[in-house]
Amino acid sequence: MSLLAPEHRSGCLVCGAALEYLAAAEPMACVGCGAPALSTARCRAGHFVCDTCHSASAKDVIERACAGTASTDPLAISRELMRHPKLKMHGPEHHLLVPAAFLAALANARGEPGEKPRLVAEARRRSDPVAGGFCGFQGACGAAIGAGIAVSLATGATPLSTQPWRLANAATARALDVVSRVGGPRCCKRDTWLVLLALVRFAREHLGVALGGRGEPCTFGGLNAECLADRCPFHPRPAR
């Protein structure tokens, strides 16, 4: 069962299976954030969810996971988080997911892992005003706005900057162009991946940093009533 399944109110948050309690604590890794822990509880399918993820909001989960990841691949970070039960098929948490995943990967690639908590927390503050539905009602996909937030923080841009100001706006423009070329209706998963791929290229060209990241076949299409199917670049293609 996908970790994106609707969150269960009892039993395992991931799959709904009954919990089992062990006689002695064992080392486990949280299926949400990957944090190691000793626990006496897990579900019969083996899923363990730490207390922080159990009680956290989607944005809390994103912030915590991105501050702690060692990955330099923002797409891999995003895919792992999308499987967390707190992240739904669509929603404004994706407006944070883009800058958080990118900035975490960038800080790791730059050898500055200690910067991640500060950068991700500020990305959350800046992305909070970007409400759900911006793509259709304001004509600016929140994931693409997240690209501008990411590059603004990566370059230290302010309203009075010169080159950083240009780069932040250029990143948003590129992201919006990529999203618009695929077209609607919205899919927060598709748009997040499109924008992160654009940011990986942008980082290489303008920031001099090589990040991992590639598009992979989507596993969420069955949860999206508006899925573009064959029109989506991430739609699984039949094996030849």
Whether residue 182 sits in one domain with residue 161: yes
Give the residue from 160, 15, 163, 162 showing the smallest Cα distance to 85.
15
Q: Would you state the pLDDT for residue 12?
A: 82
Total domains in the fold of the chain: 2
Quick one: 152 and 208 in the same domain?
yes
Say whether both 20 and 126 belong to one domain.
no
**In this structure, are 173 and 127 located in the same domain?**
yes
Do 121 and 179 share a domain, yes or no?
yes
Q: Is residue 4 part of a domain?
A: yes
Q: Say yes or no: 160 and 200 in one domain.
A: yes
User: Is 179 part of any domain?
Assistant: yes
Same domain, 76 and 178: yes
Domain boundary among 38, 55, 72: 55
Asked if the structure places residue 240 within a domain, the reply is: no
Q: In this structure, is residue 46 part of a structural domain?
A: yes
Residue 119 lies in domain: 57-231
Residue 11: its pLDDT value, please?
Answer: 72
User: How many other C-beta atoms are found inside a 10 Å radius of the C-beta of residue 133?
Assistant: 12
d(CA 5, CA 196): 24
Identify whether residues 27 and 47 lie together within a single domain. Answer: yes
Q: Where among 15, 31, 55 does a domain terminate?
A: 55
Assess whether 33 and 86 both reside in one domain: no
The first and second tokens of residue 5, run together, are 């399944």
What's the pLDDT at 21? 86
Query: Final residue of a domain: which of 9, 25, 55?
Result: 55
Residue 76 domain flag: yes
| Residue 236 counted as domain residue | no
Tell whether 28 and 64 lie within a shared domain: no
User: Does residue 237 sit within a domain?
Assistant: no
| Same domain assignment for residues 6 and 116 | no
- Is residue 238, in this structure, part of any structural domain at all? no
Q: What is the full per-residue pLDDT of the chain (240 aa) written as tens digits? A: 234 344 554 578 778 788 888 889 999 999 878 889 999 889 999 999 887 777 679 999 999 999 999 999 999 999 999 998 888 899 999 999 999 999 999 999 999 999 999 999 999 999 999 999 999 989 999 999 999 999 999 999 999 999 999 999 999 999 999 999 999 998 999 999 999 999 999 999 999 999 999 999 999 999 898 999 999 999 998 766
Check whether residue 40 and residue 113 sit in a common domain: no
